Amino acid sequence: MALQEILLVDKNTPIISAIGYILQSEGFQVVLAPDAETAFEDLNNYYFDLLLVYLTGYEEDKLDLLRQAKRRAPWTKVILAGNPRKLNLPIEAFQVEVDDYLLTPFDAPELCRRVKHCLNMNEVLKAEADYADKTVSINGRVLEALRLKFCEIQNTLCSLIANFKNMIRKNPYLLNNCDMSHAYEASNDLLKLLNITEDFLYHQLLLSHDVSALKSVACHPRPNFLEVW
């Protein structure tokens, strides 16, 4: 399994070195970006599982990085770190879209717990996305099977109606009034079922933007059962 990569953004101060060392000792690949400009370049050129930005006060470039991080790398989790008691973090630092805050002082277990929690959230989101893709694929195959079966039934039904119509024309006394009434009710129910099925398939195919399948569903006009009588 590939190492999860973390982009650490701040100058190489003692606390940043300590954070990098702790994360590396936990098996993460850590890349240091000394400023926001370098971090922007790294995000554009490489994939990172997590972005950890250490804020030491009102740093507009880092705040801008935090604002744009999710748009540039939606799968990358973001942690904002800093010491609000000593450095008076600006209110903007708590208004940007981040996944977690790491406020100093903190110890190694707390750092690792928060980082792993964010990365686990990412794995869950990826698994859900993969499941959704597989579900769409399965639904597409089921819809295609339904479409083919519908066209087959539609063809058979049209043929049966035509044959029955010819039979009635050749022998108008074949059915008495009661049988004719039952046949009319049954054919009317079949028409309703056919219409419901066709409407459902049209709706689903419209959602899937399958133009060729839409044309194949509409390849035959709906039979008019009333013409039989």
- Please write the tens of the pLDDT for every residue from 31-48: 999 998 999 888 888 888
pLDDT of residue 30: 92
pLDDT of residue 23: 93
Select from 157, 158, 159, 168 the least CA-distant residue to 228: 168
How far apart CA 186 and CA 18 sit, in angstroms, is 80
pTM for the full model? 0.53
pLDDT of residue 134: 61
Q: If phi over 0 gives left and psi between -120 and 50 gives alpha, with beta otherwise, what is residue 113?
A: alpha
Give pLDDT tens digits for 60-108. Answer: 888 888 888 877 777 788 898 887 665 555 566 566 778 888 888 888 9
Select from 66, 73, 5 the least CA-distant residue to 36: 66
- E strands along the chain, which residues? 5-9, 29-33, 50-54, 77-82, 100-103
Could you tell me if 42 and 48 are in contact, meaning their C-beta atoms sit under 8 angstroms apart?
yes
List the chain residues with pLDDT less than 50: 211, 214, 217, 219-229
pLDDT of residue 225: 42
Topology classification of domain 5-106: Rossmann fold (3.40.50)
CA 116 → CA 4, 78, 79, distances in Å? 10, 12, 11
Q: How do the domains of the chain map onto residue ranges?
A: 5-106, 134-228
Q: Buried b / exposed e across 169-189, counting CB within 10 Å, b at 16+?
A: eeeeeeeeeeeeeebeeebee
Question: Is the preceding omega at residue 105 within 30 degrees of 0, hence cis?
Answer: yes
